[in-house]
Structure 1
Amino acid sequence: MGKKTSVGNWIGAVVVVLAVLVAGAYLAHKAMHPGAPTSAPATPATEASAALATRAPIQHPIDQAGSNPAGASAAALPSLDDSDASVAAALASLAGGRDLSSLLVSRQVVARIVATVDALPRHGGLAPFTLPARTPKGSFITTATEGTTVIGEKNSARYAPYMQILEATDPQALASWYVHSYPLFQEAYRQLGYPQGYFNDRLIVAIDNLLAAPDPTQPPELVESKTYYHYADASLESLSTGQKLMLRVGPVNEAKIKVKLRAIRAQLVNAKPPQTSQG
């Protein structure tokens, strides 16, 4: 986690992408490096690509998703290279007509989403130039209490604009749009380095990984180094990129995100969502 501006600081921005874009959540703890390239999303690790050189059996076929066909668009899809404007417009509509221009990166939207989803269950973090949404305002907030440093209670307030979009998004409408637009996501996933991979399976893996993030009863203790904050608890520091950053949005926001992710997952696997409260 960066002490000032960090990749982790836009965790809330990924809420837009992982709720408003069907993918669940958050980014690396590493600090953002000035001068990092800003061209195209990074490719996955070589060993990960090699592991998918042979197609694995598809676990969650997109044509079995429980979306509402009546709510899905019948419009022809643009090419992946020409999809940014239509994808941004669709996401704004799904978010209740809110203006996403200040939050969403307008170039290579689908490719950035796909790269983010792929990276969330890993442990290596995310390169800043793969991010599909802009960073929240302000710096990461910590609090000193009883001789220890913890994530500040006020830090969660920085994600309020993203949480408003999260809460305004209808999971069924989102799933319908995603199913209709799925060929774009599949193409971007192949271009990322998975020619035999199936993106919807990877999305379910990412959502399940985020849902498995712990729910600490107390703010996690942090250890400060020259450049970063680390979780003092080794079991927390060993969590995936997405899970560590779920902790960072605060327990109330994390609970709301998990409720939305469960509802989205249920749509994507054609299952009845569990009865849970947002508390």
Structure 2
Amino acid sequence: MSKRSSSVGGWLAAVIALVVIAAAAYFLMQRARQADTRPTASVAPAASSPAPASTAPAIAHPIAQADSGPATASTAPLPALADSDANVADSLIALASGGDIGAWLVRQSIIPRIVATVDALPHADMGRFILPVKPAKGSLVVEQADGQSMIGAANAARYAPYMQALASVDAQALVDWYVHYYPLFQQAYAELGYPSAYFNDRLIAVIDHLLAAPEPTQPLIVAPYKQGYAFADPALQGLSVGQKAMLRIGPANEAAVKARLRDLRTRLVGSGLHAAPAAATSAAR
């Protein structure tokens, strides 16, 4: 994890539980890298992404079953994916009135970036230019005790803007937003290299992966590694980039993100179903 790390960890719970874990701890064990802000028509798949399946698997969690209520915005026509950034940015900013998403949102290829980030979180590494948000400010806060280096308690404060956004987003409004834009998420997932797979199934699997992240009760010991730090515990060092992000944001933030993830997962798999808007059920499968 770098002293000046890009972030993955604050964005996952506020955009599909993902507007807050994508901004906390990108490339924990590597040199600081910032998200690319250059305009781009598409986002390349993560290097470790599996090859797409040759046949379409059964859909486990069809978006038509999401707990989505009727909303005026849900019936509005969708822009083309390539022309969706302004519309998506405006709607995201409106969702999180209590957090300044506009200040750290990367406004090019927003939905493809979200999709690529979600897909990469369970892997050991992720592509360099896929994050949908700018990194958390400041450097990793490290403390010394008994001759060891550890992530300081004050490090969690670096993610306060993302956690504020997470707290300000109404869970049902977020689900309605996602259902409305789902055809674009599905298209971006196909263009990422999964033409026969279903993005909402991948999202649920990634949420489950993040919920399984360890919850250490002791300070996290780190050791110098190249220009940054690595976890001293090999078991933690071997975790995915997403689970490392969950650890890095601190116990209280991790608990808050997991609570939102559980809530959103329940809504996305169809507990307490409402009729899904017609526009949301037309996604390619």
Structure 1 position 170, deviation (Å): 1.0
Contact 1:31–1:227 (Cα < 8 Å) also in 2: yes
TM-score (norm 2): 0.86
Structure 1 position 43, deviation (Å): 1.4
Contact 2:223–2:231 (Cα < 8 Å) also in 1: yes
Structure 1 position 96, deviation (Å): 2.1
Structure 1 position 55, deviation (Å): 1.6
Structure 1 position 198, deviation (Å): 0.6
TM-score (norm 1): 0.88
- From the superposition, tell whether residues 35 and 210 of structure 1 become closer, same or farther in structure 2 (CA, over 3 Å): closer
1:6 match: 5
- From the superposition, tell whether residues 71 and 206 of structure 1 become closer, same or farther in structure 2 (CA, over 3 Å): farther
How many pairs are equivalent?
264
2:43 match: 41
Distance 1:108 1:223 in 2: 36
Distance 2:184 2:71 in 1: 20
1:1-279 equivalences under 5 Å are: 1-3=1-3, 5-7=4-6, 10-12=7-9, 15-16=10-11, 18-24=12-18, 25-26=21-22, 27-29=26-28, 30-33=30-33, 38=38, 39=40, 40-45=42-47, 48-50=50-52, 52-70=53-71, 73-96=74-97, 98-123=99-124, 125-271=125-271
User: Which structure carries more helix by proportion?
Assistant: 1
> Could you say what secondary structure the match of 1:222 adopts?
strand
> Could you say what secondary structure the match of 2:186 adopts?
helix
Distance 1:36 1:83 in 2: 18
Structure 1 position 72, deviation (Å): 5.2
2:278 match: none
The amino acid across from 1:41 in the alignment is V
Structure 1 position 190, deviation (Å): 0.5
- From the superposition, tell whether residues 188 and 34 of structure 1 become closer, same or farther in structure 2 (CA, over 3 Å): closer
Distance 2:178 2:35 in 1: 34
1:276 match: none
- From the superposition, tell whether residues 87 and 249 of structure 1 become closer, same or farther in structure 2 (CA, over 3 Å): same
Structure 1 position 100, deviation (Å): 2.3
Distance 2:228 2:105 in 1: 26
The amino acid across from 1:88 in the alignment is A
- From the superposition, tell whether residues 256 and 97 of structure 1 become closer, same or farther in structure 2 (CA, over 3 Å): closer
Q: More deviation in 230-239 or 104-113? A: 230-239
> Could you say what secondary structure the match of 2:139 adopts?
coil
- From the superposition, tell whether residues 258 and 240 of structure 1 become closer, same or farther in structure 2 (CA, over 3 Å): same
Structure 2: 5+ residue runs without aligned partners? 273-285
2:280 match: none
Distance 1:181 1:121 in 2: 24
The amino acid across from 1:102 in the alignment is A
Distance 1:219 1:137 in 2: 22
Distance 2:15 2:161 in 1: 16
Q: Which runs of 4+ in 1 moved over 3 A?
A: 32-40, 44-47
> Could you say what secondary structure the match of 2:223 adopts?
strand
- From the superposition, tell whether residues 98 and 252 of structure 1 become closer, same or farther in structure 2 (CA, over 3 Å): closer
CA offsets per residue over residues 245-266 of structure 1, 9 Å max, x none? 1000000111001111111111
- From the superposition, tell whether residues 269 and 85 of structure 1 become closer, same or farther in structure 2 (CA, over 3 Å): same
Structure 1: 5+ residue runs without aligned partners? 273-279
Structure 1 position 228, deviation (Å): 3.0
